[in-house]
């Protein structure tokens, strides 16, 4: 019987093994044994398809399988809905199985018109489920268990019809019922004719699903099966879908997993009377981009948003508010947290009392109107000095003059760790625009550091900030 010594594995593989073992809480030996088990399972399926380092079994296969695929050992529920691209799902099953993923399949009735459950079952090595009202299947597994037992559900291909059902919460067949009952990540790989993809109804449904936190891959642009047709609507290649599944299940790329973040974003509206309010030009784009980047990095994100017309970023819990006081209260309710990023352009003042009825002009007079204002709570300042203060408190400084001077003062006054200062003068177009130019101020015991970032898209500002947050928490952990 052969034995393997971890010491003899090459450095790169050893490092990957070490990371994977740490992620799963295993010793390296235990992890190596699990990988070999997974490989052996694969061997049973098709010896020629699993090729370990440098070894090629027979002449049928040239595939080199990545033994460090993040989803190996995980359970995927795959839903095949009816479209010409259904045949590609066979390759997807094969490639997932090669990587040690357990694949269970549900087919819609339409899908069985394109490929047979027998063929699918032969590849997945499992029973294929098709019928919501099958007594045998319900006794066997049950549709709720099908939804819950998976680590991820992938729908490939996802037709316009199935997406419409999902967006509307319908559950009139096994696939849609399982999708409605699922509380695991959902990945859709749509495939349809470009006209169907571009139809306003499909556009609406995709947006609804994305807002509900559903992940998408594709569709791609290219030639369609129908002769002479081309455009966006092709199913992504199986290997692209394999990669997307890996990414969604890869804990190593979720460095902020286990950390809670609170964000504020957008303007606040302070009512004057039932139809008028005090507001500012904030679009919420920067705050939403940061919320989304934090969620992608694995943080559990609560976004307290003022009135903006932006979709909820996937994987983010959102609370919509109108006024600064409501925002303050929502932030209090969201505590405790590890990270706070206060991006909202909170209105500094509100009227002492907003009028119950619409304020009318006095006929025949041109006297100036006076509003009595009072100050709103300073949310960032309250967090910076809170008894439940988050570990990392980050604010913005929106200035139109003396940027650094004012930002330094805010860093100190508000008790923040970092301030992202930006010039919001009208000519910069930052308020409401898509770009931002940031100077990051942080306190280093005795002095304030200023880091200048080049002008970049708000999405890139978000990624850069989140990268810094990741480094901050990594170094903290090391120091403990
Ligand atoms: N902020 C807050 N609550 C407020 C006002 C501001 O949480 N009532 C936060 C903002 O979200 C931002 C930071 O404080 O992170 C600075 O906001 P800014 O509008 O630049 O400054 P102000 O505190 O309003 O001060 P000023 O208007 O004098 O510049």
Domains in the chain and their CATH numbers?
75-251 (3.40.50.1950), 254-352+371-479 (3.40.50.10300)
Enumerate residues 6+ apart whose C-beta is below 8 A from 354.
Answer: 270, 271, 272, 273, 274
Measured CA to CA, the distance from residue 411 to residue 434 in angstroms comes to 25
* pLDDT computed for residue 479 by the predictor: 46
- The answer to whether the CB of 438 falls within 8 A of the CB of 462 is no
What distances in angstroms separate CA 316 from CA 263, 313, 323, one per listed residue? Answer: 10, 6, 21
Nearest CA to ligand 1 atom 12: 396
Residue of the CA atom closest to atom 17 of ligand 1 = 397
SS3 (DSSP) at 388: coil
pLDDT, average across residues 190-195: 95
Catalytic residue among 42, 193, 205, 280: 280
pLDDT over threshold 60, residue 76: yes
As a whole number, mean pLDDT of residues 172-192 equals 94
Cα first-last separation, the chain? 44
Q: Which of 397, 394, 387, 388 is nearest to 423 (CA)?
A: 397
- Mean pLDDT highest for which of 53-67, 108-122, 245-259, 355-369? 108-122
Which of 348, 349, 376, 400 maximizes ligand 1 atoms within 8 Å of its Cβ, making it the mutation to test the pocket?
Answer: 348
Report which protein residue has its CA nearest ligand 1's atom 21.
397
Residue nearest to atom 3 of ligand 1 (CA): 378
What average pLDDT does this structure show over 323-335? 98
164 vs 254 pLDDT, higher one: 164
Bridge partners of 301, per DSSP, are: 261, 316
Measured at the CA of 139, the angle between CA 134 and CA 144, to 5 degrees, comes to: 85
Give 368-392 as a DSSP string.
Answer: PP---EEEPP-HHHHHHT-TT--SE
| Cα-to-centroid distance, 397 and ligand 1 (Å) | 7
CA 272 to ligand 1 center in whole angstroms:
21
Q: How far is the CA of 311 from the centre of ligand 1 (A)?
A: 24
pLDDT at 256: 94
Bigger pLDDT: 448 or 61? 448
- How far does residue 360's CA lie from ligand 1's centre (Å)? 32
Mean pLDDT of 8-28: 67
What was the pLDDT predicted at 211? 73
Per-residue pLDDT at 191 exceeds 70: yes
What's the pLDDT score for residue 188?
97
Of residues 334 and 463, the one with the higher pLDDT is 334
Higher pLDDT, 426 or 63: 426
Q: What is the pLDDT of residue 40?
A: 56
The dihedrals phi and psi of 427, each to the nearest 5 degrees, come to: -70, -20
At residue 284, the pLDDT reads 95
Distances (CA, A) of 364 to 28, 358, 368, 459: 86, 18, 13, 52
CA distance 341 to 94: 44
In ligand 1, the atom with minimum distance to the C-alpha of 377 is: 8
Nearest atom in ligand 1 to the alpha carbon of residue 398 is 20
The confidence score (pLDDT) of residue 2 equals 45
Q: For residue 105, what are the contacts with CB-CB under 8 A and spacing of at least 6?
A: 77, 78, 79, 80, 93, 120, 121, 124, 126, 128, 129
Q: What is the pLDDT of residue 67?
A: 65
Highest-scoring range by mean pLDDT, 247-261, 274-288, 356-370, 421-435: 274-288
Q: What is the average per-residue pLDDT within 430-441?
A: 88
Dist. CA 295–CA 249, nearest whole Å: 14
* Most ligand 1 atoms within 8 A of CB, residue of 323, 399, 410 to mutate: 410
CA pair distance 54, 5, nearest whole angstrom = 18
33-47, 287-301, 423-437: which has the minimum mean pLDDT?
33-47
Does the pLDDT value for residue 97 go beyond 70? yes
Asked if 187 contacts 235 with a C-beta cutoff of 8 angstroms, the reply is no
Percent with pLDDT over 70 in the chain: 85
Close Cβ partners of 227 (under 8 Å, ≥ 6 residues apart): none
CA of 342 to the centre of ligand 1 (A): 9
Dist. CA 351 → ligand 1 center (Å): 18
Tell which atom from ligand 1 comes closest to the C-alpha of 376.
8
Q: What is the CA radius of gyration of the chain?
A: 27
- Output the CA 378–ligand 1 centroid distance in Å: 7
pLDDT average, residue stretch 55-81: 68
Rounded mean pLDDT, 326-341: 98
Write down the residue that tokens 């049928």 correspond to: 60
Pairwise pLDDT comparison (475 vs 366), residue with the higher score: 475
Rounded distance, CA 430 to CA 347, Å?
17
Let me know if 91 is exposed, middle or buried by CB neighbors in 10 A (0-12, 13-18, 19+). Answer: middle
Tell me: pLDDT of 41 over 80: no
pLDDT band at 106; cut points 50, 70, 90? very high
Q: Determine the atom of ligand 1 nearest the C-alpha atom of 264.
A: 11
Q: What is the distance between the alpha carbons of residues 318 and 437, in angstroms, rounded to a whole number? A: 26
**pLDDT, tens digit (0-9, with 9 covering 90-100), for 195-227:** 999 999 999 999 888 877 788 999 999 887 777
* pLDDT range class, residue 1, cuts 50, 70, 90: very low
SS (H, E, C) 234-273: ECCCHHHHHHHHHHHCCHHHCCCCCCEEEEEECECCEECC
Q: Which helix (H) or strand (E) holds 397?
A: strand 392-399
Of the pLDDT bands very low, low, confident and very high (cuts 50, 70, 90), residue 312 is confident
When pLDDT is averaged across residues 74-79 and rounded to a whole number, the result is 96
Give the range among 248-252, 287-291, 467-471 with minimum mean pLDDT. 248-252
Nearest 5°: phi and psi at 267?
-90, 175
Tell me the C-alpha distance between 156 and 51, whole Å: 26
Bond from prior residue into 231 cis (ω within 30 degrees of 0): no
Tokens 């120091």 sit at which residue?
479
- The average pLDDT across 143-158 equals 91
- Please check the confidence at residue 237 and state whether its pLDDT lies above 80: yes
- Cα 78 to Cα 88: distance, rounded to the nearest angstrom: 13
The rounded Å distance from CA 248 to ligand 1 centre is 36
Q: Which of 286, 287, 346 for a ligand 1 pocket mutation test, highest count of atoms within 8 Å of Cβ?
A: 346
β-bridge pairing 220-223 and 270-271: unpaired
Pocket of ligand 1 (CB under 6 A): 264, 324, 342-346, 348, 376, 378-380, 395-398, 410
Averaged pLDDT score across all residues of the chain = 86
DSSP character for 149?
Answer: S
Of 30, 91, 39, the C-alpha closest to 65 is 39
149-163, 206-220, 319-333: least confidently modelled range: 206-220
Find, among 329, 253, 316, 322, the residue nearest to 287 by Cα.
316
Contact (Cβ atoms closer than 8 angstroms) between residue 193 and residue 226: yes
Query: Which helix (H) or strand (E) segment is 31 a member of?
Result: helix 28-45
Look at residue 132 in the predicted model and tell me its pLDDT.
81
Q: Name the band, by pLDDT with cuts 50, 70 and 90, for residue 251.
A: confident
205 catalytic per annotation: no
SS3 378: coil
232/222 Cα distance (integer angstroms): 6
Our mutation pick for probing the ligand 1 site, out of 279, 288, 303, 378, counting the most ligand atoms within 8 A of Cβ, is 378
Whether omega for the bond prior to residue 90 falls within 30 degrees of 0, making it cis, is: no
Instruction: Please give the residue that has the higher pLDDT: either 44 or 134.
Output: 134
pLDDT reported for residue 160: 98
Report pLDDT digits (tens) over 396-413: 998 989 999 999 999 999
* Average pLDDT value for residue range 74-81: 97
């Amino acid at each position: 019987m052969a034995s393997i010594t971890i010491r003899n594995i090459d450095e790169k593989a050893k490092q990957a093994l070490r990371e994977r073992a740490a992620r799963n809480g295993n010793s390296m030996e235990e992890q190596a044994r699990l990988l070999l088990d997974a490989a052996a399972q694969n061997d049973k399926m098709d010896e020629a398809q699993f090729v370990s380092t440098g070894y090629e079994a027979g002449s049928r296969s040239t595939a080199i399988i990545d033994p460090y695929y993040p989803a190996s050992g995980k359970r995927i529920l795959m839903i095949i809905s009816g479209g010409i691209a259904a045949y590609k799902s066979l390759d997807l099953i094969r490639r997932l199985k090669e990587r040690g993923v357990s694949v269970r399949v549900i087919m819609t009735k339409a899908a069985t018109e394109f490929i047979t459950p027998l063929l699918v079952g032969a590849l997945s090595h499992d029973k294929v489920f098709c019928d919501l009202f099958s007594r045998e299947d319900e006794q066997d597994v049950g549709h709720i268990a099908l939804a819950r037992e998976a680590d991820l559900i992938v729908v490939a291909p996802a037709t316009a019809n199935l997406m419409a059902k999902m967006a509307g919460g319908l559950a009139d067949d096994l696939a849609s019922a399982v999708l409605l009952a699922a509380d695991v990540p959902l990945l859709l790989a749509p495939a349809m004719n470009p006209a169907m993809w571009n139809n306003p109804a499909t556009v609406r449904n995709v947006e609804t699903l994305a807002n509900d936190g559903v992940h998408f891959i594709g569709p791609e642009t290219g030639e369609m099966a129908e002769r002479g047709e081309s455009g966006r609507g092709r199913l992504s290649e199986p290997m692209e879908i394999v990669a997307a599944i890996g990414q969604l299940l890869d804990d190593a790329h979720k460095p902020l997993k286990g950390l809670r973040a609170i964000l504020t974003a957008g303007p606040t509206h302070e009512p004057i009377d039932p139809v008028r309010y005090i507001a500012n030009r904030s679009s919420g784009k920067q705050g939403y981009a940061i919320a989304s980047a934090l969620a992608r990095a694995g943080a559990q994100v609560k976004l307290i948003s003022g009135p903006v017309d932006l979709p909820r970023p996937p994987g983010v819990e959102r609370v919509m508010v109108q006024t600064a006081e409501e925002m303050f209260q929502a932030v209090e309710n969201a505590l405790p947290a590890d990270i706070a990023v206060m991006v909202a352009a909170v209105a500094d003042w509100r009227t002492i009392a907003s009028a119950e009825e619409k304020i009318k002009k006095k006929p025949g007079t041109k006297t100036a109107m006076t509003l009595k204002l009072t100050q709103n709570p300073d949310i960032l300042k309250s967090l910076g000095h809170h008894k439940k203060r988050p570990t990392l408190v980050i604010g913005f400084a929106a200035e139109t003059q003396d940027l650094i001077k004012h930002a330094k003062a805010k860093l100190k006054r508000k008790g923040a760790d970092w301030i992202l200062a930006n010039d919001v003068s009208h000519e910069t177009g930052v308020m409401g625009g898509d770009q931002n130019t940031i100077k990051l101020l942080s306190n280093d015991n005795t002095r304030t550091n200023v880091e200048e970032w080049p002008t970049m898209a708000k999405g890139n500002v978000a990624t850069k900030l989140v990268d810094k947050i990741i480094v901050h928490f990594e170094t903290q952990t090391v120091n403990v």
